[in-house]
Amino acid sequence: MTVERTYDRVTLPHLGNQVLRMGVAANGGLESEDITYAAERGVNLWLYGRSFGKATAPLKDLLAREREKHVVVMLGTFVLTARGARRTVEKARRELGIDTVDLFLMPWLGRTSRFSPAIQDALADMREAGLVRGVGTSIHDRERAGRLAADSILDAFMLRYNAKHPGAETDVFPHLAKRDPIVISYTATSWRQLLKPLQGAQMPPWPGAHVGAAMPPLTAPMCYRFVLNSPHVHATWTAPGNRQELDENLAALDAGPLSAEEEVWVREYGKQVKSKRKRDYV
Ligand SMILES: NC(=O)c1ccc[n+]([C@@H]2O[C@H](COP(=O)([O-])OP(=O)(O)OC[C@H]3O[C@@H](n4cnc5c(N)ncnc54)[C@H](OP(=O)(O)O)[C@@H]3O)[C@@H](O)[C@H]2O)c1
């Protein structure tokens, strides 16, 4: 399937839907009416799960009116058995009034969690039966993610990727070409860490700014733009705390890509944040 991409929109491999490259997770603090508002702003990629109660009614409404336009990604909860995976999907179908969940994500495949043949069969069976259109996982173990990207039944990966943690570039992205799974990143702001002033940051001026111009910390839109600059990331999640943050973050898409110099700057800032300890934050 041809993947078409502009800076703000992409056709998702395996599903074929065209989505805005910023998907919304409602568990950061958004109200129900913010979901409808986000949809009006063009958002059509949604994270859904147990703690996303406020999103249920507006999402159900959107899906009843324009099912084809939206992609619902269901994130399972903690430990999942084969039966638990199916129950989770059935519940989402009931709650959202839909026949098919677009993507079902295993909640966690860490270093120690077993991706048992029974779970793999359950996922593949759900896909075959049309209960889900694709299956994937949210995963922190990048090396395992790389192996699964190259060879597994999984259609999608939800990965940590940001200026402080760019390790997916070496551990996962080189393994994508073989099967072209969907990549949706999270933690663009590194749990807000990239947004906090960093004492003693030794940064050059922001590209184009005059010497001595005040710059750090990063803004949230810059964090999302860093992530969206990657050709390997189909979309990023955003979990804004309120409507104002939602607007700010969506503006990252309007701002367009970071220039090469800006990307280098943000990468360097992330590196410095990583090398600092907690007490270095003001
Ligand atoms: N293992 C997993 O499966 C896993 C791991 C991580 C995340 N997730 C999920 O993935 C989704 C996305 O999470 P994320 O960590 O990627 O969220 P994010 O978009 O990086 O947002 C994280 C935090 O950044 C702050 N923020 C966002 N926009 C801002 C703005 N414009 N100005 C100031 N602060 C801003 C907010 O903090 P304040 O509310 O304090 O303003 C927000 O809670 C969520 O549903 C999350 O639960 C899952």
Tell me what percent of the chain is helix, strand and coil, each rounded to the nearest 5.
Answer: 40, 20, 40
- Structural domain of residue 43, as residue ranges? 9-191+221-258
What is the residue with the minimal CA distance to atom 47 of ligand 1? 27
Is residue 266 included in any domain, yes or no? no
Tell me how far CA of residue 1 lies from CA of 12, 14, 16, 151, in angstroms.
Answer: 9, 8, 7, 19
Select from 22, 72, 142, 238 the residue to mutate for testing ligand 1; criterion: most ligand atoms less than 8 Å from CB. 238
Is residue 206 included in any domain, yes or no? no
Element (H, E) at 238: strand 235-238
Positions of the chain with pLDDT under 70: 1-3, 78-79, 110-113, 277-282
Is residue 133 included in any domain, yes or no? yes
Q: Which amino acid belongs to residue 79? A: V
Is residue 203 included in any domain, yes or no? no
pTM for the complete prediction? Answer: 0.94
Please report, for the domain that includes residue 142, its CATH number: 3.20.20.100
- CA dist 82 and 30 (Å) reads 32
Residue list, ligand 1 pocket, CB within 6 Å: 25, 27-29, 47, 107-108, 138, 186-189, 191-192, 195, 220, 237-241, 245, 248-249
User: Separation of 280 CA from ligand 1 center, angstroms?
Assistant: 22
Q: Are strands 18-20 and 101-106 parallel, antiparallel or unpaired?
A: unpaired
Q: What is the pLDDT of residues 44-80, one digit of tens each?
A: 999 998 888 889 999 999 999 999 999 999 998 866 7
Is residue 44 included in any domain, yes or no? yes
Predicted pLDDT at 281: 56
Is residue 15 included in any domain, yes or no? yes
How many separate domains does the chain show? 1
What is the residue with the minimal CA distance to atom 27 of ligand 1? 240
Is residue 141 included in any domain, yes or no? yes
